[in-house]
Amino acid sequence: MPDLIEIDMSGLAEPPQVSDSTSRSVHYDDMPATLSARLAASCPPSFTILDMPPPQNHHFLRRKSSDANTQRLRRIGKEYQILESSLPQGIFARTWESRIDLLRVVIIGPQGTPYEHAPFVIDFYFDDHFPSAPPASYFHSWTNSMGRINPNMYEDGKICLSILGTWPPKNPDENWNPTKSTVLQILVSIMGLVLVRDPFYNEAGFEAFASEGDSRVESTQYTEKAFVMTRGFIKHALQNPVPSFEDVLAWHYLPGPVENDSQFTRPQLLKKAISEATAMICHCNASCDNELGSERGAASPFVARLSLGAVVMLQKHINVLEKILSVAEEQNTPGQNEFALSDYTE
């Protein structure tokens, strides 16, 4: 792992402001599979402190609320100020006024990787050992026991990273440092060092193959599987919305009213995911591109060509995603404030 990012935490004084905008629009008791397409007129903030109870499915909710140690609370406050000002595009974080020792993060997979456009949900807990030790973490894996999407991200929720204390580092500087390390470093490491184009080489002992430029069949197969499985993550997040992130998911994935100002144009990642996956299937089928024939380029930056087995599985995901998009487009009409994705079930 690379050296730790140096972040100057001096001059941080006032904690981030608590937001009640989401709490006025969303209720979490018996949460239905509903996304509100009009929760925000523009992209939701990257970081927010909410004045509602934390979601019932937060992995660490049952852990006791940490002792009110002034020094520890001040450090948590500084961590949140860093997140509020410095989160990179594609990472969103939420905590709760009643439990600031809990944090939930959604990372949207980086483009050019098999994880692109897919949401990844991670819960954190700042226990009494923080900041002497890193926060506890839990990755919500939605693979239905079909295997890992990444060598560093386990189906049981474990994330293998030296900065989290879950993997022995080659360089001691990669360990959590109570005075220098930050939560921001953890999140950037997950996005930039875990969710990568060739995840196969993240497996322990396989780094040498990558450095030698060795293109292995196993790597291609792993990448292909990760891509297909994470299309299911998009489906899962839209059919089973992530509490406290309904506005983030709706803004990034679903269609909205056409705006003149480009800053208010929704990314429409659902439509992009469908379009790009369909193009990859078409690429696999030579009849879709007779003119280029065998000289046609790679299907994507991370997969040269899909296998026939992957095409079958990917098409199943596309069918579901297209129906979700159809429901969203049909109900995205003037005066329609929200729509229920539960109207469509597989």
- The closest of 312, 327, 337 to 238, measured between CA atoms, is 327
- The closest of 101, 60, 87, 108 to 185, measured between CA atoms, is 87
- Whether 284 is catalytic is no
Are β-strands 34-35 and 47-50 bridged in parallel, bridged antiparallel, or unpaired?
unpaired
- Measured in degrees and rounded to the nearest 5, phi and psi for residue 336 equal -90, 105
What angle do helix axes 269-284 and 308-331 make, rounded to 10 degrees? Answer: 150
How far are the Cα atoms of 12, 136, 160 from residue 86, in angstroms, in the given order? 13, 21, 24
Percent of the chain as helix, strand, coil, to the nearest 5: 35, 10, 50
- The closest of 23, 21, 16 to 76, measured between CA atoms, is 16
Which member of 160, 282, 284, 288 is catalytic? 160
Catalytic residues: 160
